[in-house]
Amino acid sequence: MTVDLLFRRIDNLFTMQPDLGGGPLGRIEGAALGLIGGRVAWVGADRDAPDAAQVVDCSGMIGLPGLVDAHTHMVWAGSRAAEFEQRLGGAHYSEILEAGGGILSTVRATRAAGEGELRALAEDRLRRALAQGITTVEIKSGYGLDPVSEAKMLRVARAAGEAVGVRVLTTFLGAHAVPLEYRGRREAYVEHIIAEQLPAVVGLADFIDVYVDRGAFTLEEAERILRAGIAAGLRPRVHAEQVEYTGAAALAARLGATSADHLERLDQAGVEAMAAAGTVAVLLPGAMLYLRDSPPPVEALRAAGVPIALATDLNPGSSPVADLWTIATLGCLSLGLTVEEAVLGITRNAALALGRPALGHLGVGAAGDLILVRPPLGEPPLVSSLVQRLGGHRAEVVVRDGEILWRAPR
């Protein structure tokens, strides 16, 4: 066999495939990985490596699948720094939203922003994601809340992904908040989402999401909107059980959602419904930290066998956190995950949350998304050396679909 591109002498390769041996992260010491046609074609011990057209020496480095950030609101304009101060002063996130601030203040700024301005902001955020080793990002709309602005956000998300090289999956979130022009007319806004926004975004979105919560949407409204999205060919996901318990996680499970996200108020019935349906739990410790919230029931999720993913929830208000490695560390410190669970949460399980099982691991046939990271000076080449430190890690090499997208200047 001759591969197109061969990565040799990787100190430790974490394949996320326990079936290859090497514990829960499928670690291969002294590894090589070969790619053909953008996919993983060979993986194993360096001494057995096949011939190759091009070879990259990876001595001193850790290899991992490209990281997956499965929940972001990365396209926005404006600032919410003043709201941060308001919340430090005791105001509640939902009260600020109910008073027309929070998400709605970002809606005003994002509606007003031109497509070029919005795209420059999104590209900058995506370049920073790529430098960390993130090769796949989910981006939601939800700061437009009208057909033109929602479509604008989703176009910007996809165009920014194309420009930077990160694989972007998009989610229509017209049901993020009731905009001010529909205050007191919720029923009419739900109708507007289904009849006007949804047709404007079909073809621009992969998923549909609803924020079910106090100050946002009810369970009944969510079911109508999600069913309309499913009928239009979008896959459902849900912002569930964040500020108040609503039963949204069980709804997500019942509708075949790929994930239910947040889950700070999740109950046992919700855990069991998710386990039975194979719904991934996407936990967002950045939002938990910034809203000074308590953690979701991790032990119950683990006991029920619900796959756990971790994501940044990058947005200007509840989680202005762009660093997925920081999120992995917070997953350990504030949610009680093990290092292995945290790393699976930003790779294999994050890919499952997006319904993309070819991503987030490095078995033969998987997508050719590989990153190489040098451990901090003096640390062994293990993932714990990265997760122990709070963020700031940069990939030295980033490969997406078999193409080298980024190589750190030496």
The residues that touch ligand NIG, with contacts defined as CB under 6 A, are 73, 102-103, 106, 211, 239, 242, 287, 313, 315-319
Name the residue nearer to ligand NIG (CB basis): 235 or 374: 235
CA dihedral 225, 231, 235, 237 (to 10 degrees): 20
Contact 237, 257 (CB under 8 A): yes
* DSSP secondary structure letters along 232-289: TTPEEEEEESSSS--SHHHHHHHTT-SEEEE-TT--HHHHHHHHHHT-EEEE-HHHHH
Name the residue nearer to ligand NIG (CB basis): 4 or 244: 244
Minimum CB–partner distance for residue 96 and ligand NIG (Å): 9
Query: From Fe ion, ligand NIG, none, which one binds at residue 242 (CB under 5 to 8 Å depending on kind)?
Result: ligand NIG
Contact 34, 50 (CB under 8 A): yes
Minimum CB–partner distance for residue 45 and ligand NIG (Å): 43
Q: Would you count residue 146 as binding Fe ion (CB under 5 A)?
A: no
Residue nearest to ligand NIG (CB): 317
Query: From Fe ion, ligand NIG, none, which one binds at residue 340 (CB under 5 to 8 Å depending on kind)?
Result: none
Minimum CB–partner distance for residue 141 and ligand NIG (Å): 12
Buried b or exposed e, range 209-222, using 16+ CB within 10 angstroms: bbbbbbbbbbeebb
Cβ-based neighbour number of residue 139 at 10 Å: 29
Name the residue nearer to ligand NIG (CB basis): 77 or 383: 77
Question: 401's torsion region: left (phi>0), alpha (psi -120 to 50) or beta?
Answer: left
Query: From ligand NIG, Fe ion, none, which one binds at residue 317 (CB under 5 to 8 Å depending on kind)?
Result: ligand NIG
Total binding residues toward Fe ion, as defined by CB under 5 A = 1
Cβ-based neighbour number of residue 133 at 10 Å: 27
Name the residue nearer to ligand NIG (CB basis): 259 or 319: 319
Query: From Fe ion, ligand NIG, none, which one binds at residue 20 (CB under 5 to 8 Å depending on kind)?
Result: none
Q: Which residue has the tokens 């001759």?
A: 2
Q: x-or-dash pattern for Fe ion, window 281-310, by CB under 5 A? A: ------------------------------
Q: Would you count residue 313 as binding Fe ion (CB under 5 A)?
A: yes
Query: From Fe ion, ligand NIG, none, which one binds at residue 102 (CB under 5 to 8 Å depending on kind)?
Result: ligand NIG
Name the residue nearer to Fe ion (CB basis): 83 or 313: 313
Contact 312, 324 (CB under 8 A): yes
Handedness of CA 165, 169, 170, 171 (dihedral sign): negative
Handedness of CA 291, 293, 296, 299 (dihedral sign): positive
- CA distance linking residue 407 with residue 389, whole number of Å: 22
Residue nearest to Fe ion (CB): 313
Name the residue nearer to ligand NIG (CB basis): 7 or 211: 211
> Given the rule CB under 5 A, which residues bind Fe ion?
313
